[in-house]
């Protein structure tokens, strides 16, 4: 069933206040739900029926204004409860039950170990009680929780804890009052044997807030970084955006059973433990960094999401794109130093290209604000989140930071307390900037990644340069033709020394200004004429990746080598290098398919050495600039994907780089060790990244000393980054010691889920040697091991997902056995957890882009799942249908 954005109707009723009384029990929980309901004046009484969503609930009783309601007044269905004739304000009281223990979907209230955890976004609240489970119904919540004091000593919900008291039979009761009206998706409840790290934190306005991080006792030693990150986030939101914490209590809970990263429930954020827990033994440098950004993200939702929420789920990017943008800015500000910030921007763009661009080119392609969906949970995508953040970033670039900030302030001031659409944000920006943003708004409605093509013409006599710029966006499902976008397009013209030349457009008076010049693209094709240039410039285009596009700059290899060596914009310097590496693998792939001899451009191999030795570059930058682009990224740039050809070419290019620069890599490996106490901050983390990258190349070059260093690193490392890097390098090498190391690591790590998951991921992303394909068998074996549970999303995301999406050479076996395994797993997950299942199901959506025997085997696997459509959840069905029908 398809839901369309244009079909939005205001709710027939509103709920002003709700009181929920829980009698918690893992097997069967009872809820008494008392709602103060009234007809919505904005709906003009067209519909007097009150519809309350409900899913997998047992209804016990319904009362209206305290009196049992006659059965003729209501109808119960699979979707919920319809109560007829509510024309006046009324009190509706519902009693229902549900079973947390039977809830394997991890939506609603479920069991994790000994703890009860809730997850309501997007539509989990209807699995707790009958309610108007839509984001535009905002109510004040009072939550009373009763439970066994022994089993559930800690009881948490949104808002302020009121009275707590002991009851008979070893039970106790706590009442929470949340002063802020909120939609049901922000409701949260946690009960368990938890402990906390807490701290009183002084807010800017002088109030003291009580911050706490709640975990199971064995995890208390992993909460310091979480609390520190929260304090930084609170301070940053005050300073950068003038937004303050509006609560006296702010709580974070971590759980190992969670469908995604984290959730911004009002005042009670719930996190997947992999996004919240850290200490030097269980978290890598990247984990530390990621945790800070996710803690920030969820905290920032308190304003962009909670105080200002969504009218309907189509508007999801209004809170997610904006909040990702905010968390990216937070992370950048925490890094401070420009080169570290640039590295972060580079990493964000790598993930956009690796995951969002393919989505934009897939049967699931959708604008950041979709027009329709079957299952909203399938639309928590890279497009809505990451491309959404790019769109907000473009606005800041176009309007300038100050105007953007004024627009943001206006957005907050005007919409606080309401449930709005994306228009609200654009209207605020329009009003402060006085710019017409109607063309810009196409970014919200058109899917697909724009291609921008630039051709330049140098006129030596007149010393002028003409740039011809054209943009096109490929058609996507339901959108055959696209209109041109408005996008920022910062450009610099570099002289032969790499210095930015003064820039002056034809018709402009005065002298040109040196530096980056902001152009705006608005037409299908446009020309820009630069005059009074001293020499023929080299172009540095779309600096900083201002617009999320695929750029064909029309540069020669010579020019791109120049940019890789000289561009002063670190993003573009990286991009030039990365593009050359991608091109090398692509050329090698083609040559191999055509059985033509091919040599990697020696100038590229030399540039690698030059970057390695460049004293002006940070180790972190060198690590991203010299990292091989993944096979997936390379494949994205090919018209037809042949994973085995790409893999062989990738290995050949990597080995050639390694051999040519072996001594420089060994030197970098030895120079960038980080002895002493572990410090996860950007500088030492950058050193470790470069050292481990260099060791990888050195091992690829067959260097024996590198192998010894890596083995040694595995046993002596005092931080997980180095330990894990060493293990990964050994697992992917042919050293005889590798099996012992794998077993040692497993023995040491099996008791800690965070570490076990890392171990699983190394296994599923490993390579086999000597033409054997062993990883599939290995993964199949691991699925059956008792330390793997298919019910645990993190286990699935560590073992199965990376195998299906990040190990192309091992997954895409010519006989289709990898796909058959995928189909088995999708069907099994579908019965257990539809949200996790549909994520896994997406692994084959781009089947049409593969070489012919693989494409048809992928198609067969999709068909085999589709043949069981009667059993499929709406989540998985939508993915399979879209994959097949496009």
Give the residue numbers marked as catalytic: 298
- By CB under 5 A, the residues from 766 to 785 that bind Zn ion are none
User: In terms of CB distance, is 260 or 866 closer to ligand ARG?
Assistant: 260
User: In terms of CB distance, is 175 or 833 closer to ligand ARG?
Assistant: 833
CB of 297 to Zn ion, least distance (A): 6
Residue 823 site contact among Zn ion, ligand ARG, none (CB < 5 to 8 Å, cut-off depends on kind): none
Query: H/E element holding 860?
Result: helix 852-866
Is residue 398 at the binding interface for ligand ARG, with CB under 6 A as the rule? no
Contact 766, 731 (CB under 8 A): yes
Which residue from 546, 554, 603 is spatially nearest to 572, judged by alpha carbons?
A: 546
Residue 380 site contact among ligand ARG, Zn ion, none (CB < 5 to 8 Å, cut-off depends on kind): ligand ARG
Contact 304, 211 (CB under 8 A): no
- Residue 567: C-alpha distances to residues 163, 469, 727 (Å): 63, 21, 36
User: In terms of CB distance, is 296 or 629 closer to ligand ARG?
Assistant: 296
Distance (Å, rounded) from C-alpha 666 to C-alpha 643? 30
Distance (Å, rounded) from C-alpha 360 to C-alpha 388? 12
CB of 539 to Zn ion, least distance (A): 37
Coil vs helix vs strand at 558: helix
How long a stretch of residues is the chain? 886
Residues 550-578 as b/e (b if ≥16 CB within 10 A, e otherwise) read bbebebeeebbbbbbbbbbbbbbbbbbbb
Q: What are the structure tokens assigned to 739, written together?
A: 């099996």
User: In terms of CB distance, is 133 or 320 closer to ligand ARG?
Assistant: 320
User: Residues touching ligand ARG: how many (CB under 6 A)?
Assistant: 11
Residue 761 site contact among ligand ARG, Zn ion, none (CB < 5 to 8 Å, cut-off depends on kind): none
Contact region for ligand ARG (CB under 6 A) — 256-264, 428-436, 472-480, 734-742?
Answer: 256-264
| The one among 18, 120, 263, 776 contacting ligand ARG by CB under 6 A | 263
Distance (Å, rounded) from C-alpha 816 to C-alpha 631? 19
Q: What are the structure tokens assigned to 811, written together?
A: 């997954």
User: In terms of CB distance, is 187 or 489 closer to ligand ARG?
Assistant: 187
Residue 377 site contact among Zn ion, ligand ARG, none (CB < 5 to 8 Å, cut-off depends on kind): ligand ARG
- By CB under 5 A, the residues from 280 to 339 that bind Zn ion are 320, 323
CB of 244 to Zn ion, least distance (A): 20
Query: H/E element holding 823?
Result: helix 817-832
| The one among 257, 264, 329, 390 contacting ligand ARG by CB under 6 A | 264
User: In terms of CB distance, is 295 or 584 closer to Zn ion?
Assistant: 295
CB of 185 to ligand ARG, least distance (A): 8
Residues 41-79 as b/e (b if ≥16 CB within 10 A, e otherwise) read eeeeeeeeebbbbbbebebeebebeeeebeeeebeeeee
Residues 665-693 as b/e (b if ≥16 CB within 10 A, e otherwise) read bbebbeebebeeebebebebbbbbbbbbb
Query: H/E element holding 685?
Result: helix 682-700
| The one among 24, 35, 116, 122 contacting ligand ARG by CB under 6 A | 122
Contact region for ligand ARG (CB under 6 A) — 74-82, 255-263, 519-527, 792-800?
Answer: 255-263
| The one among 5, 30, 260, 644 contacting ligand ARG by CB under 6 A | 260
| 419-420 and 487-494 strand pairing | unpaired
User: In terms of CB distance, is 317 or 572 closer to ligand ARG?
Assistant: 317
Query: Sign (positive/negative) of CA torsion 724, 725, 727, 731?
Result: positive
Q: Count of alpha carbons within 13 Å of 743, Cβ hemisphere only?
A: 5
Contact region for ligand ARG (CB under 6 A) — 49-57, 258-266, 341-349, 722-730?
Answer: 258-266
Give the strand order in the sheet containing 550-552.
525-530, 464-472, 451-459, 550-552
User: In terms of CB distance, is 298 or 410 closer to ligand ARG?
Assistant: 298
| The dihedral formed by the CA atoms of 875, 879, 882 and 884, expressed in degrees to the nearest 10 | -130
**Shortest Cβ contact with ligand ARG: which residue?**
380
- By CB under 6 A, the residues from 355 to 394 that bind ligand ARG are 377, 380
CB of 305 to ligand ARG, least distance (A): 7
| Binding-residue pattern over the window 427 to 466 for ligand ARG, x denoting contact by CB under 6 A | ----------------------------------------
Residue 810 site contact among ligand ARG, Zn ion, none (CB < 5 to 8 Å, cut-off depends on kind): none
Contact region for ligand ARG (CB under 6 A) — 262-270, 349-357, 473-481, 655-663?
Answer: 262-270
Contact 246, 230 (CB under 8 A): no
| Binding-residue pattern over the window 291 to 330 for ligand ARG, x denoting contact by CB under 6 A | ------xx---------------------x----------
User: In terms of CB distance, is 175 or 255 closer to Zn ion?
Assistant: 255
Residues that bind Zn ion (CB under 5 A): 320, 323
The footprint of ligand ARG (CB under 6 A) covers 121-122, 260, 262-264, 297-298, 320, 377, 380
């Amino acid at each position: 069933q398809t839901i369309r954005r244009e079909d939005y109707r205001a709710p027939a009723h509103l709920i002003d206040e709700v009181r929920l009384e829980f009698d918690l029990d893992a097997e069967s929980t009872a809820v008494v739900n008392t709602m103060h309901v009234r007809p919505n004046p904005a709906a003009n009484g067209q519909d007097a029926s009150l519809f309350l969503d409900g899913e997998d609930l047992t209804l016990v009783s319904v009362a209206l204004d305290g009196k049992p309601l006659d059965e003729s007044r209501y109808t119960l269905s699979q979707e919920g409860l319809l109560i007829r004739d509510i024309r006046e304000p009324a009190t509706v009281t519902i009693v229902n039950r549900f079973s947390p223990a039977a809830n394997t979907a991890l939506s609603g209230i479920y069991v994790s170990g000994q703890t009860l955890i809730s997850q309501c976004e997007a539509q989990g609240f209807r699995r707790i009680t009958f309610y108007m489970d839509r984001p535009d119904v905002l109510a004040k919540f009072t939550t009373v929780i009763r439970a066994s004091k022994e089993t559930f000593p800690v009881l948490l919900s949104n808002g302020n804890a009121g009275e707590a008291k002991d009851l008979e039979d070893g039970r106790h009761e706590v009442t929470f009052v949340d002063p802020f009206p909120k939609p049901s998706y922000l409701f949260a409840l946690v009960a368990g044997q938890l402990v906390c790290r807490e701290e009183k934190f002084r807010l800017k306005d002088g109030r003291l807030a009580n911050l706490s991080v709640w975990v199971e006792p064995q995890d208390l030693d992993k909460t310091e970084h979480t609390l520190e990150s929260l304090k930084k986030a609170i301070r940053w939101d005050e300073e950068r955006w003038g937004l303050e914490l509006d609560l006296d209590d702010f709580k974070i809970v971590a759980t190992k059973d969670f469908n995604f990263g984290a959730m911004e429930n009002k005042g009670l954020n719930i996190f997947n433990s992999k996004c919240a827990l850290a200490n030097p033994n269980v978290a890598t440098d990247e984990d530390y960094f990621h945790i800070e950004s996710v803690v920030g993200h969820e905290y920032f939702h308190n304003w962009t999401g909670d105080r200002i929420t969504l009218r309907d789920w189509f508007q999801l990017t209004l809170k997610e794109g904006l909040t990702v943008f905010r968390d990216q800015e937070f992370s950048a500000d925490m890094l401070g130093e420009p080169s570290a910030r640039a590295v972060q921007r580079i990493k964000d763009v790598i993930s956009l290209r690796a995951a969002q661009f393919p989505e934009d080119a897939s049967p699931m392609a959708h604008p950041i604000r979709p027009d329709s969906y079957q299952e909203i949970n399938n639309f928590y995508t890279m497009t809505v989140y990451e491309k959404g953040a790019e769109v907000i970033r473009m606005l800041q670039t176009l309007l300038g930071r100050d105007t953007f900030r004024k627009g943001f302030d206006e957005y907050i001031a005007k919409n606080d307390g309401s449930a709005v659409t994306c228009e609200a944000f654009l209207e605020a920006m329009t009003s402060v900037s006085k710019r017409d943003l109607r063309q810009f708004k196409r970014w919200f409605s058109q899917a697909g990644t724009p291609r921008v093509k630039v051709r330049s013409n140098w006129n030596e006599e007149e010393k002028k340069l003409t740039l011809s710029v054209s943009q096109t966006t490929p058609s996507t499902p339901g959108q055959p033709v696209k209109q041109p976008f408005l996008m920022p397009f910062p450009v610099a013209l570099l002289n032969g020394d790499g210095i930015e030349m003064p820039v002056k457009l034809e018709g402009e008076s005065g002298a040109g200004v040196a530096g980056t010049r902001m152009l705006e693209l608005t037409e299908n094709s446009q020309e820009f004429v630069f005059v009074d240039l001293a020499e023929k410039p080299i172009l540095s285009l779309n600096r900083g990746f201002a617009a999320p596009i695929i750029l064909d700059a029309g540069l020669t290899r010579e020019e791109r080598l120049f940019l890789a060596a000289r561009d002063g914009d670190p993003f573009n310097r990286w991009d030039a290098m990365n593009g050359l590496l991608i091109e090398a693998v692509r050329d090698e792939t083609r040559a191999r398919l055509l059985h033509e001899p091919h040599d990697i451009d020696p100038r590229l191999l030399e540039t690698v050495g030059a970057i390695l030795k460049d004293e002006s570059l940070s180790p972190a930058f060198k690590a991203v600039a010299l990292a091989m682009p993944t096979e997936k990224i390379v494949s994205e740039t090919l018209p037809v994907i042949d994973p085995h050809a790409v893999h062989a070419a990738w290995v050949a290019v990597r080995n050639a780089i390694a051999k040519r620069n072996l001594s420089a890599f060994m030197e970098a490996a030895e120079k960038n060790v980080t002895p002493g106490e572990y410090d996860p901050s950007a500088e030492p983390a950058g050193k470790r990244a470069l050292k481990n990258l260099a060791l990888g190349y050195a091992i690829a070059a067959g260097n024996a000393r590198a192998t010894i260093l890596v083995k040694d690193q595995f046993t002596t490392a005092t931080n997980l980054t180095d330990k894990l890097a060493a293990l990964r390098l050994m697992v992917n090498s042919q050293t005889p010691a590798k099996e012992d190391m794998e077993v040692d690591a497993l023995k040491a790590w099996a008791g800690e889920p965070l570490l076990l998951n890392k171990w699983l991921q190394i296994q599923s992303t490993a390579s086999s040697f000597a033409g054997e394909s062993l990883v599939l068998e290995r993964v199949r074996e691991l699925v059956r091991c008792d330390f793997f549970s298919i019910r645990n999303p993190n286990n699935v995301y560590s073992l199965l997902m990376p195998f299906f999406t990040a190990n192309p050479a091992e997954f895409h076996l010519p006989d289709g056995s990898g796909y058959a395994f995928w189909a088995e797993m999708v069907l099994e997950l579908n019965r257990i957890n539809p949200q996790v299942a549909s994520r896994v199901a997406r692994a084959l959506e781009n089947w049409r882009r593969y070489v012919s025997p693989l494409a048809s085997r992928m198609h067969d696997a999709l068909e085999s799942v589709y043949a069981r459509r009667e059993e499929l959840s709406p989540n998985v069905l939508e993915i399979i249908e879209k994959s097949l029908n496009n």
